[in-house]
Chains A and B, each alone.
Chain A
Amino acid sequence: KAGVTQTPRYLIKTRGQQVTLSCSPISGHRSVSWYQQTPGQGLQFLFEYFSETQRNKGNFPGRFSGRQFSNSRSEMNVSTLELGDSALYLCASSRDAYSYEQYFGPGTRLTVT
């Protein structure tokens, strides 16, 4: 069974631009969660989607948004990029909501210059 895939793996953007990251969960998984990881703040929860609905959201500004499609694939968007948005963005999928048997993707390394 294929694991969680994330695209792109690496991305360089400039301040003010916007970016869209993609995550394909494991087949049969309906829940997708997004995390931001930085050296200073560690791993922080962004949001979780289940059946195309955002169920939970972390403490991030409205510039961070996401969505989930009917095939459970999810996208995350960051608008008006700031230097502090440089981070590793991890996506994790699980079969059901409220399940922490999560499987993580390899992440997308975003660098904002």
Chain B
Amino acid sequence: EDKVVQSPLSLVVHEGDTVTLNCSYEVTNFRSLLWYKQEKKAPTFPFMLTSSGIEKKSGRLSSILDKKELFSILNITATQTGDSAVYLCAVEYGAGSYQLTFGKGTKLSVIP
């Protein structure tokens, strides 16, 4: 059973649009949720939401974490073609030693 579910699976938008990516999770002993951007091969690390954090911003990217409803959203405003990538959501959970599980990702395509 999938512990981390992302939606939509893919998304095509025009430059300048605002997009919202969704990530829901169901784990025990949640610790943190992370969003990654993967272009070509290696993911990068945009920012992390800790268990005590709610909203974070990094330029045109912002995200919120709702620990009660067990989901996070990633917003990208004024999209650019360089934002085209697969966006991965990952959840860290566990007591003592931890597990890290990823969603399948949302493929975002930004067209001029």
> B98's closest neighbor in chain A, by CB?
A56
Give the size category of A's interface with B.
10 to 19
Q: Is the interface of B mostly helix, strand, loop or mixed?
A: strand
Contact of A56 among B43, B45, B97, B104 (CB under 8 A): B97
**8 Å CB contact of B97 from A42, A55, A100:** A55
Partner of B103, one of A42, A45, A59, A105: A42
Please provide the chain A residues from 33 to 56 with a CB less than 8 Å away from any CB of chain B in the complex: 42-45, 55-56
Interface hits, A83-98 → B, CB 8 Å = 88, 90
In the bound complex, residues from chain A placing their C-beta under 8 Å from that of B76 are none
| Residue contact A56 to B32, C-beta cutoff 8 Å | no
Chain B interface residue count, Cβ-Cβ cutoff 8 angstroms: 21
Query: Which of B42, B45, B102, B105 interacts with A100 by CB under 8 Å?
Result: B45
Tell me what chain A mostly uses at the interface: helix, strand, loop, or mixed. Answer: strand
**Contact of B75 with A by CB under 8 A:** no
A5 to chain B, nearest CB (A): 12
Q: How far is the CB of B49 from chain A (nearest CB, A)?
A: 10
A42-B105, A58-B99 given as contacts; is B92 within 8 A of A100 (CB)?
A: yes
